[in-house]
Amino acid sequence: MNHELAVEQANAHFYRALAELDIEAMEEVWRHEDWVVCVHPGWPMMTGWAGIQESWMRIFENTKMMNVSPEDVSVRVDGNVAWVSCIENISTFYDAGLQSSYAQATNVFQRVDGAWKMVVHHASPLPVPDDWEGAKLSEN
Amino acid sequence: MNHELAVEQANAHFYRALAELDIEAMEEVWRHEDWVVCVHPGWPMMTGWAGIQESWMRIFENTKMMNVSPEDVSVRVDGNVAWVSCIENISTFYDAGLQSSYAQATNVFQRVDGAWKMVVHHASPLPVPDDWEGAKLSEN
């Protein structure tokens, strides 16, 4: 399998773990180092796996259901490092209702013992485009 | 010079080009490829040097003066790729007045012919902390 495809799959695993609120799958995705970095949309940066893991647990506990899919995925690989740009199409279901949102993501992966592991996740809020079906549904 | 230090300097060059509204210095900082990526705070992603260069020119034309300094800079290097996390402490002076802001940045650099060149800049808005001097000044 070529590296670009392997990285695209690692990126897809991340979004599947997120959509399925699956902390064990999320643990599989990341490197467990004290220097890995995560920026949730609108949150300040977190550094280190311990805090990042805890943040995912809190997000998963407070979320009833989440649909998220990566779009416009572009992958670059150089040696043991890969960086991915994509747009996150997110629908989150809370007790209080549905929230639809878009985020811009930069994800960095590092190849360790043959497996691509996430070392940076930076997601930031984007305006919801007018022609987005999810946005229309949430207005009805 | 070790690679971490060289990357930290390349990152500093980026913020100096930004603070000095210097398009030639900005051209020096970046790889000029059609796949490089730039996310200005709150903007949708741009791909390709041509559009990114144009965006910097527009930003520089519409800005009277800008103070920006990177803080909490952390650098990781693996082979010919490096990624930097930092907080951007930004004061922008327009004709209409002063705007103070903070942004979270992820910058990716690639080593080409011995020089570290920017290939990803992702900056996203952060809340201004209460104890920030710049924020206090702008309120007076």
Per-residue tens of pLDDT for chain A, all 140 residues: 699 999 999 999 999 999 999 999 999 999 999 999 999 988 889 999 999 999 999 999 988 888 999 999 999 999 999 999 999 999 988 777 888 889 999 999 999 999 999 999 999 998 766 555 543 333 33
Which ipTM value was assigned to this complex?
0.88
Q: Is B110 on the interface with A (CB under 8 A)?
A: yes
Does position B138 have pLDDT exceeding 60, yes or no? no
Q: Tell me: the pLDDT tens digits for A75-115? A: 999 999 999 999 999 998 877 788 888 999 999 999 999 99
Share of chain A above pLDDT 90, in %: 74
Q: Is B80 in contact with A78 (Cβ distance < 8 A)?
A: yes
Is beta strand B37-39 parallel, antiparallel or unpaired with respect to B46-47? antiparallel
Phi, psi torsion values for A20, nearest 5 degrees: -90, 5
B138 inside 8 A of chain A by CB: no
Report how far apart the first and last C-alpha atoms of chain A are (Å, whole number). 44
Query: Is the minimum CB–CB distance between B81 and chain A shorter than 8 Å?
Result: yes
Instruction: Please say whether the beta carbons of A76 and A52 come within 8 A.
Output: no
**Cβ contact, residue pair A106, B122, below 8 Å:** yes
pTM, rounded to two decimals: 0.89
Which residue spans within B1-140 are E strands per DSSP?
37-39, 46-47, 65-78, 81-94, 97-112, 115-126
Question: What residue of B is the nearest CA neighbor of A39?
Answer: B104
Contact A81 B85 (CB under 8 A): no
Beta carbons within 8 Å of A82's beta carbon, 6+ residues apart: A3, A4, A7, A75, A76, A108, A109, A110, A111, A116
